[in-house]
């Protein structure tokens, strides 16, 4: 049954009260991801099915040959399409871009495309004339929170899994021709993936609101002592850390009730690809830093799982070790 | 009681439903039709929903049997006398006569109307409750027809006129269950053969529960941890056979006690 | 692309002659458009210039914008075609501009004391007249001043500032050339504490570099807060003297 999107007072107060006792409704610890399942299509390259708890996202990577943009003749094209249909949740309207959808698509765009996860220069075939256009279509199938996290994992894993057909260029000068070898004839080529970005969303709850039902009251008190010296500021800090509950990978219910969030995209090289902390609920800098560090840890865990699944998939395809022998490049 | 899977258009095995006691009666057995079964006169009974064909034998009137198709999924369609859990989302009317708009999550008619006079002790304007937005109420549907649209709600026991557990709920937590489970939890004891998950839980831990037919339950207990455990137990138990269910429930409650 | 030498010289000077921890020339004025709006402000940070008009709190024009228990803020950003060197008309549906609107909206919905104006709306109109890096920060700062001018109760100043990381050097308050050359973040703080309302980082950066960047931008935010506070007080004083308060 689809969830109703207006949480009641009871849910609000209970969740906050439970969080002060460090309890989550699904009995997870605060920094625990839901069960993550990644599976690849057995027939096609680049089709990934990611299940994060009850959230489900499918990504499909495809490639075709087109003309590069005139101002960037050496770069291939990489497009990520993230359209949320009512299939994910009845609150999403078909054809109309909601604010959530905007945020999700921008975060995925920044996480994967702008961070240079895919080397677009490697997609160039003949400069200024022909290049590969790689397209990632993300389909959101079920929404129980964490759409962007799941989508980011799906696209990352999809790029790693995808193989494009091999090509050769024949002829010289203006009479060059590109010959595409179907994957049934030649072993297809993997994409040049430079790093594997993993997006982690942290949800912030102001647990002090658990005690004061009137929202804003606590902050008014806070505003009173703005002009205080540094010593007292540090005391305030300690209080702050305990007043913010930080949850990893919120469910839809938690997403509806949270006071603020931050999405961090990290990879295993200890790089932060993107941070987006929306304007809601001001949070201490220290909390934001420790979240970023936690994101790296999650990224390592998720990347490990992606690699494990990729290996399993490869083993399944590589019956009789034929793929290794048919490969064009040799191990150096 | 018996049950078997039935699909729309399947023949209903009436013999097995009614049994063999056709012979010694002069009036013949009485069959009451519940939801999911269409009667095409003179004597064709046609299931119009997929689910389990469920029969309940009743003592009154003698030898009467109720048959219906039980499903656990789908959307809740309001029906008069159903109890629901809803959330107040607005208020309209004047001081003399005001009404609350109550959202009924998961319902086909998503918004119900609750008169501020439809509470116990609401005879005088001053004793009427003042509910703010977001308040959860346990209410009974007093009037509804698909054509009229919004269901009308009441928050008192129809027989006694007293509160009877209806009205505003304070504390505790709400959770979603399937509408089938909600119906089973509300069914008279043993209607579904053997104790329900609530009975199993009741032996282990004291708690309060309110079940809305719209697939929502409200639980309150000694602590947050226990409430979370009870909700988990109820949600998980739906998928388990009865023997495993009791075991699982015990394990969950014990786990919550330990820490 | 400019080389590193130009961006940050060995003597520690940046392309426009600033040190690493200096913000650009900051000029602001409030109550600039007293006829057309309830509150207004102009901000110049270096060569970036933003005008902000605030109308409200008023009754929402659209029923769908009514929030029963708090004020809703609607933000519109108009980027002038002449704001950059290449004259180009930007559509209102540009996803970057929409994202900026939504960021600003969320920042201020939590910064103003929203429950004082239930069922009402505040319109924030931002005009980016010239852009030379740090458009988001200028928009946020301008909105703060315009809201103060409009008399909307707020918890504290919301101030924003950018900081970039060039190799191992932190640079504060980037201009357009610097922005295109290094990863940078935009941070908005509430008041003079360590409370961060908004944080956006768009390019890849080593985790270890994050902390110095955040520390620098935070001090930049606090500096800008003082500058804005001065202007507001000055303005208040002058109006008091004119007897128009």
pLDDT digits (tens, 9 = 90+) for B59-96: 666 677 788 888 877 788 888 889 999 999 888 888 77
Separation between Cα atoms, residue C52 and residue C44, nearest integer Å:
12
Say whether residue B133 is in contact with chain C using an 8 A CB cutoff: yes
Count how many Cα atoms sit within 13 Å of the Cα of residue B8 in the half-sphere of its side chain: 7
* Whether A277 contacts A289, CB under 8 Å: no
Query: Which strand ranges, in their side-by-side order, compose the sheet holding B173-176?
Result: B173-176, B216-221, B207-212
Do the Cβ atoms of A23 and B225 come within 8 Å? yes
Minimal CA separation from B224 to chain A, in Å:
6
Identical fold between B2-70 and B83-170 = yes
- Maximum separation of any 2 CA atoms in chain C, in Å: 59
- State the Cα–Cα distance between residues C189 and A226, nearest whole angstrom: 13
For residue B68, say if its preceding peptide bond is cis, omega within 30 degrees of 0: no
Do residues C39 and C149 lie in contact, with contact meaning Cβ atoms separated by under 8 Å?
yes
User: What are A150-177's pLDDT values in tens digits?
Assistant: 999 999 999 999 999 999 988 887 788 8
Q: Are C99 and C51 in contact (CB under 8 A)?
A: no
Note if the pTM is more than 0.90: no
- Measured between beta carbons, the chain C residues lying within 8 angstroms of A5 are none
- Residues of chain A with pLDDT > 90, as a percent, come to 51
- For residue B68, give the H/E element and its range: strand B64-70
Q: Are the beta carbons of A212 and A121 closer than 8 angstroms?
A: no
Q: A10 and B169: CB-CB below 8 Å?
A: yes
For residue A75, count CB atoms less than 10 angstroms from its CB and return exposed for 0-12, middle for 13-18, buried for 19 or more.
Answer: middle
B-chain residues near A4 (CB < 8 A): 87, 103, 105-106
Counted across chains B and C, CB pairs separated by less than 8 A come out at 3
Q: How far is B231 from chain A (nearest CA, A)?
A: 9
A10 assigned to some structural domain = no
Residue C19 lies in a domain: no
Determine contact: C115 vs chain B, CB below 8 A.
no
Q: Is the ipTM of this complex over 0.90?
A: no
Give the tens place of pLDDT for each residue, B136-153: 999 999 988 877 778 999
**Measured between alpha carbons, how far is A46 from A108 in angstroms, rounded to an integer?**
17
Class of domain B2-70: mainly beta
Tell which C residues from 182 to 221 touch A, by Cβ distance under 8 Å. 185, 188-208, 210-211, 214-215, 218
User: What is d(CA A150, CA A94) in angstroms, rounded to the nearest whole number?
Assistant: 20
**By percentage, how much of chain C surpasses pLDDT 90?**
65
Dist. CA C202–CA C163, nearest whole Å: 12
Is A177 among the domain residues? Answer: yes
Kindly report the CATH class assigned to B83-170.
Answer: mainly beta
Chain A residues close to B232, C-beta within 8 Å: 26-27
Q: Which chain B residues touch A if contact means CB-CB below 8 Å? A: 73, 75, 87, 89, 103, 105-106, 132, 134-136, 169-174, 176, 178-179, 215, 218, 223-225, 227-229, 231-232
List residues bridging with C122 in a β-sheet: C73
Is A119 part of a structural domain of the chain? yes
What string of H, E and C letters represents the secondary structure of chain A? CCCCCCCCHHHHHHHHHHHHCCCCCCCCCCCCCCCEEEEECCCCCCEEEEEECCEEEEEEEEEEEECCCCCCCCCCEEEEEEECCCCCCCCCCCCCCCHHHHHHHHHHHHHHHHCCCECHHHHEEECCCEEEEEEEEEEEEECCCCHHHHHHHHHHHHHHHCEECEEEEECCHHHCEEEEECCCCCCCEECCECCCCEEEEEEEEEHHHHCCCCCCHHHHHHHHCCCCCHHHHHHHHHHHHHHEEEEECCCHHHHHHCCEEEEEEECCCCEEEEEEECCCCCEEHHHHHHHHHHHHHHHHHHHHHHHHHHHHHHHHHCHHHHHHHHCCCCCC
Residue C9 located in a structural domain = no
Interface contact C207-A285, CB threshold 8 A? no
Contacts C110 to A, Cβ<8 Å: 260, 279-282
H or E element that contains C222: helix C207-242
Tell me whether residue A282 is in a domain. Answer: no
CB distance A99 to A84 below 8 Å: no
- Count of domains in chain C? 1
Looking at residue B55, its pLDDT comes to 79
Alpha-carbon distance of B132 to B90, in angstroms, equals 8
Model confidence band, residue A225 (pLDDT cutoffs 50, 70, 90): very low
Rounded to 5 degrees, φ, ψ at B169 are: -105, 135
Distance CA A282, CA C155 (A): 11
pLDDT, position A235: 39
The answer to whether residues B198 and B234 touch, using CB atoms and an 8 Å cutoff, is yes
Q: Which CATH number fits domain B175-258: 3.30.1370.10, 3.30.420.40, 2.60.120.20, 3.40.830.10?
A: 3.30.1370.10
pLDDT band at residue A219 under the 50/70/90 scheme: very low
**Angle between the N-to-C axes of helices B242-258 and B197-204, in degrees from 0 to 180, rounded to the nearest 10:** 30
Interval B205-255: pLDDT, tens: 999 999 999 989 999 998 999 999 999 999 888 888 878 888 888 889 988
Q: Which of residues 130-189 of C touch A (CB under 8 A)?
A: 155-156, 185, 188-189
Does some domain include residue C15? no
The Cα C40–Cα A176 span in angstroms is 61
Neighboring chain A residues of B234 at a CB cutoff of 8 Å: none
CATH of the domain at A178: 3.30.230.70
Does the pLDDT at position A217 exceed 50?
Answer: no
Q: For chain C, how big is the Rg over CA atoms in Å?
A: 18
Please give the average per-residue pLDDT across C227-233, as a whole number: 94
Has residue A13 been placed in a domain? no
Are C205 and A272 inside 8 Å of each other by CB? yes
A117 touches chain C (CB under 8 A): no
| Domain range for C140 | 24-239
Q: Is A317 a domain residue?
A: no
Q: What is the least distance, in Å, from the CA of A214 to any CA of chain B? A: 12
Q: Which chains have 3 or more CB–CB distances shorter than 8 Å to chain B?
A: A, C
Residue B135's nearest CA partner among B91, B191, B193 is: B91
CB contacts, 8 Å: A284 with chain C: 194-196
Domain ranges of chain B: 2-70, 83-170, 175-258
Chain C residue with Cα closest to A219: C155
**C-alpha distances in Å from residue C138, one per residue of A277, C145, C240:** 18, 11, 28
Q: Do C69 and B90 touch (CB under 8 A)?
A: no
Task: Give CA–CA dist B64/B73, Å, rounded.
Answer: 28
Quick: pLDDT tens for C112-150.
998 899 889 999 999 999 999 899 999 999 999 999 999
Domain that holds residue A61: 32-197
Instruction: Work out how many domains chain A is built from and give that number.
Output: 1
Lowest mean pLDDT among A281-285, C7-11, C50-54: C7-11
Query: Does A27 map to a domain?
Result: no
Helix residue ranges, H only, B131-223: 179-186, 197-204
CA nearest B132 in C: which residue? C69
Q: What's the gap in Å between the CA of A21 and the closest CA on chain B?
A: 8
Task: Look up the CATH number of the domain holding residue C131.
Answer: 3.30.230.70
Q: How many CB atoms are closer than 10 A to CB A52?
A: 26
CA dist A71 → A67, A74, B133 (Å): 11, 9, 56
In a domain, A85, yes or no: yes
Least Cα distance to C219 among C179, C183, C189 occurs for C189
Residues of B in contact with A18 (CB under 8 A): 224-225, 228
Q: Pick the residue with more confidence: A24 or A7?
A: A24
* pLDDT (tens digit per residue) in C68-113: 788 999 999 999 988 888 887 777 678 889 899 999 999 999 899 9
Domain assignment present for residue C13? The answer is no
């Amino acid at each position: 049954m689809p969830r109703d999107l207006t949480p009641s007072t009871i849910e609000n107060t209970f969740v906050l009260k439970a969080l002060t006792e460090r309890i989550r409704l699904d009995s997870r610890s605060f920094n625990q991801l839901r069960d993550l399942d990644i599976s690849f299509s057995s027939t096609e390259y680049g089709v990934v099915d990611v299940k994060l708890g009850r959230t489900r996202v499918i990504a499909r990577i495809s490639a075709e040959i087109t003309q590069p943009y005139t101002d960037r003749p050496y770069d291939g094209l990489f497009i990520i399409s993230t359209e949320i249909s009512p299939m994910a949740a009845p609150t999403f309207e078909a054809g109309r871009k909601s604010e959530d959808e905007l945020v999700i698509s921008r975060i995925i765009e920044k996480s994967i495309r702008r961070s240079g996860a895919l080397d677009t220069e490697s997609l160039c075939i003949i400069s200024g004339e022909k290049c590969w256009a790689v397209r990632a279509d993300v389909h959101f199938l079920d929404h129980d929170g964490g759409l962007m996290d799941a989508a980011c994992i799906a696209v990352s894993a999809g790029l790693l899994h995808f193989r494009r057909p091999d090509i050769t260029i024949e002829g010289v000068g203006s009479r060059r021709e590109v010959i595409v070898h179907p994957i049934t004839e030649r072993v297809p080529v993997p994409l040049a993936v430079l790093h594997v970005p993993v997006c982690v969303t942290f949800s912030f709850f102001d647990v002090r609101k658990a005690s004061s039902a009137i929202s804003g009251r606590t902050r008014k008190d806070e505003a009173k002592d703005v002009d205080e010296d540094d010593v007292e500021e540090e005391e305030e800090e300690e209080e702050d850390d305990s007043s913010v509950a930080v949850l990893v990978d919120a469910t839809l219910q938690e997403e509806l009730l949270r006071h603020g969030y931050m999405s961090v995209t990290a990879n295993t090289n200890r790089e932060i690809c993107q941070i987006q902390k929306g304007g809601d609920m001001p949070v201490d800098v220290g909390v934001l830093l420790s979240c970023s560090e936690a994101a790296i840890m999650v990224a390592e865990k998720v990347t490990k799982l992606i690699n494990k699944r990729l290996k399993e998939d490869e083993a399944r395809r590589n019956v009789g070790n034929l793929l290794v022998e048919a490969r064009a490049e040799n191990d150096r | 009681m018996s049950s078997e899977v039935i699909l729309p258009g399947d023949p209903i095995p009436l013999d097995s439903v009614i049994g063999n006691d056709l012979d010694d009666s002069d009036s013949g057995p009485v069959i009451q039709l519940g939801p999911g079964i269409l009667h095409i006169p003179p004597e064709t009974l046609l299931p119009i929903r997929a689910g389990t064909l469920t029969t309940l034998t009743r003592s009154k009137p003698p030898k009467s049997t109720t048959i219906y198709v039980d499903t656990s999924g789908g959307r809740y369609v309001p029906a008069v006398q159903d109890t629901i859990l809803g959330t107040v989302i607005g208020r309209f009317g004047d001081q003399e006569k005001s009404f609350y708009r109550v959202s009924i999550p998961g319902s086909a008619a998503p918004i119900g109307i609750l008169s501020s006079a439809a509470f116990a002790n609401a005879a005088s304007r001053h004793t009427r409750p003042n509910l703010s937005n977001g308040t959860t109420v346990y209410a009974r549907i007093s009037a509804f027809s698909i054509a009229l649209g919004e269901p009308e709600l009441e928050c008192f026991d129809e027989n006694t006129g007293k509160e009877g557990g209806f009205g505003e709920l304070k504390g505790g937590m709400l959770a979603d269950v399937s509408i089938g489970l909600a119906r089973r939890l509300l069914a008279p004891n043993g209607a579904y053969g053997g104790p329900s998950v609530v009975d199993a839980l009741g032996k282990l831990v004291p708690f309060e529960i309110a079940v809305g037919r719209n697939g929502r339950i409200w639980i309150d207990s000694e602590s947050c941890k226990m409430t979370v455990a009870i909700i988990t137990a109820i949600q998980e138990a739906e998928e388990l056979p009865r023997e495993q269910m009791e075991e699982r429930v015990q394990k969950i409650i014990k786990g919550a006690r330990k820490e | 692309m400019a080389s590193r030498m130009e961006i940050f010289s060995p003597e520690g000077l940046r392309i426009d002659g600033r040190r690493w921890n200096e913000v650009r020339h900051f000029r602001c004025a409030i109550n600039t458009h007293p006829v057309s709006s309830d509150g207004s402000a102009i901000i110049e940070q270096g060569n970036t210039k933003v005008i902000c008009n605030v109308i409200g709190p008023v009754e929402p024009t659209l029923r769908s914008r009514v929030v029963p228990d708090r004020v809703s803020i609607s933000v519109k950003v108009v980027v002038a075609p002449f704001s950059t060197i290449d004259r180009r008309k930007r559509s209102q549906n540009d996803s970057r501009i929409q994202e900026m609107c939504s960021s600003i909206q969320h920042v201020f919905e939590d910064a103003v004391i929203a429950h004082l104006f239930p069922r009402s709306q505040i319109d924030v109109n931002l005009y980016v007249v010239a852009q030379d890096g740090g458009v988001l920060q200028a928009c946020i700062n301008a909105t703060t001043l315009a809201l103060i001018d409009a008399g909307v109760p707020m918890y504290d100043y919301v101030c924003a500032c950018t900081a970039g990381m060039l190799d191992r050097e932190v640079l504060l308050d980037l201009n357009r050339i610097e922005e295109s050359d290094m990863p940078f973040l935009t941070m908005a703080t509430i008041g003079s504490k360590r409370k961060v309302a908004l944080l956006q980082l768009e390019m890849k950066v080593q985790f270890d570099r994050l902390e110095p960047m955040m520390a620098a931008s935070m001090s930049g935010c606090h500096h800008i807060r003082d500058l804005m506070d001065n202007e507001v007080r000055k303005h208040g004083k002058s109006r008091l003297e004119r007897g128009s308060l």
